[in-house]
Structures are given as structure tokens and as C-alpha cells.
């Protein structure tokens, strides 16, 4: 039986001994101060709280911290200064993908997970890749174009 939950966030070891049903998003935001993780719907539907868990995109609002023992979690704060992270974020700026910005950390994480598995996605594959992330401002087109731009500009970075 586990009494302590041990996992890593952005490469840093985290030990958690509180209520195992605490939502991962609350541990990330409240305990670790990683406020780039946004809460939109709280039901895993909008993608604003998206993080990468063991290489896969997940919504941190529906995952209890008791389910991440031994996992590696990355948030927007953990990738923003990496080559790949910078590539996506610069492409979003250049492509005008951001309006209010609330959905953007989740969008960037979804784009990151997409390009990691598919370095040169088609437009349809990009749209499917961000289909779990809702944006109320942009109408998505500039986000899709910016992910395409990140794929092109990143080149060998994603291969």
C-alpha cells in the first residue's frame, strides 16, 4: 500500500502525502505554483489543463494525484525553455495564434505531444491533435497554421 506518492514534475522530484484524490491540477497550481496549467471546465473536456504524463497528453483536472505515482509530468513551465518548446511558442507568436491566451498553455502542450509523435502533420492531423482543446477567441485557424509553422521551422528538431 502506498502512503506517499512520488513522481516528477518538469524533471523535479515531488513527494505528496496528502489526500490521494486531490486533483493533479491542484497539486500543480496550488502546491507547486505552476499556474500555466489553467482550469477551464474541470471535467476533462476543454483541454486548458493539459499536461504531458509519461509522454502522453492528459487533462490534469480529472486525474487524482494518487494515480501518478512513478510518473513523469511536464507542464508548459517545463517545456517553454527547451528547443522544442521555444519552437512552438515562437511559431504561435509569429503566426498570431494567441488572443486572450487562456487556452494557449494547453494548446502548446497538445501541439508538443502531436509533433513529438508526428513531426509533419497534415492540417487534418493538426486539427485532430488539438480537437480536445477548446479556444473561444481565435476560431482555431491561426493556431492550426502556427502548429504547421512550428513543424516546418523546427525541421530536424521534430524528426
* Sites for other proteins among residues 68-97 (CB under 8 A): 68-70
Q: Given candidates 67, 99, 125, 145, which one binds other proteins under the rule CB under 8 A?
A: 67
Q: Parallel, antiparallel, or unpaired for β 12-16 and 50-53? A: unpaired
Contacts of residue 82, Cβ cutoff 8 Å, sequence gap at least 6 = none
Largest CA distance in the chain: 50
Residue 4 neighbours by CB distance under 10 Å:
8
Cell representation of residue 144: 492550426
In the list 36, 105, 121, 129, the residue contacting other proteins (rule: CB under 8 A) is: 129
Q: By CB under 8 A, name the one of 21, 81, 83, 156 that touches other proteins.
A: 21
Q: What is the contact surface with other proteins in residues (CB under 8 A)? A: 1-2, 5, 19-23, 26, 30, 39, 42-45, 47, 50, 53, 56-59, 61-64, 66-70, 110, 113, 124, 128-129, 131-133
Amino acid at each position: 500500500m502506498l502512503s506517499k506518492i512520488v513522481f516528477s514534475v518538469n524533471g523535479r522530484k515531488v513527494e505528496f502525502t496528502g489526500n490521494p484524490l486531490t486533483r493533479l491540477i491542484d497539486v500543480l497550481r496550488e502546491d507547486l505554483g505552476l499556474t500555466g496549467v489553467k482550469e477551464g471546465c474541470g471535467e476533462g473536456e476543454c483541454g486548458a489543463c493539459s499536461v504531458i504524463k509519461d509522454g502522453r497528453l492528459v487533462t490534469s483536472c480529472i486525474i487524482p494525484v494518487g494515480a501518478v505515482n512513478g510518473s513523469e509530468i511536464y507542464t508548459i513551465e517545463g517545456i517553454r525553455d527547451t528547443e522544442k518548446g521555444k519552437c512552438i511558442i515562437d511559431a504561435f507568436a509569429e503566426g498570431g495564434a494567441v488572443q486572450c491566451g487562456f487556452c494557449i498553455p494547453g494548446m502548446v502542450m497538445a501541439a508538443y505531444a502531436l509533433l513529438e509523435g508526428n513531426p509533419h502533420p497534415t492540417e487534418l492531423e493538426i486539427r485532430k491533435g488539438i480537437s480536445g482543446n477548446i479556444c473561444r477567441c481565435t476560431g482555431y485557424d491561426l493556431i492550426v497554421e502556427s502548429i504547421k509553422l512550428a513543424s516546418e521551422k523546427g525541421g530536424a528538431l521534430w524528426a
